[in-house]
Amino acid sequence: MRVLGVDPGLTRCGLGVVDGRPGRASMVAVGVVRTPATADPGERLVYLEQELESWLTRFEPDVVAIERVFADVNVASVMTTAHATAIALLAAAKRGIPVHFHTPTEVKAAVTGTGRAEKAQIGSMVMRILALDAAPRPADAADALALAICHLWRGQAQGRLAALAAGARS
């Protein structure tokens, strides 16, 4: 299975593509889409969409894993993150690619074993899991890979449990 992880943001949107199955993962690509904070918000969203479309075309993921927006006291930050999330969701939906959301706590727990892990711990574990020479930088890139790993490990297991439950009801 190939997963595109998206750590949504309008200034920096982390993207990471991982191939694998539960217990095994390898990095295909990682990057960050950057838009200037001084640019028109509409132009920034169009650029983000173009970049996401390019990644979807180039890497043909089976699923897209997006970090669930965390409600914070900084409403402006939450709104721009929500806008970037909507662009990723729309780009995947236009292609019929399933989208799954994972909370930051879920991602941290899947990758590090604790839902309270710090950014450095996530980067270090992503580096180990994917056998990388260095942790991806900036943190948005490591977070995108962590999202993809989380979905590989947790999402597939949840899907199998749901299928078993559906079969039991039939």
Query: Which residues are part of the catalytic machinery?
Result: 7, 67, 140
First to last CA, the chain: 27
- Return phi, psi of residue 155, to 5°: -65, -40
109-146 burial, b at 16+ Cβ within 10 Å, e below that, comes to: bbbbeeeebeeeebbbbbbebbebeebbeebbbbbbbb
Cβ-Cβ contacts under 8 Å for 76 (sequence gap 6 or more): none
Under DSSP, is residue 2 helix (H, G, I), strand (E, B) or coil?
A: strand
Under DSSP, is residue 32 helix (H, G, I), strand (E, B) or coil?
A: strand
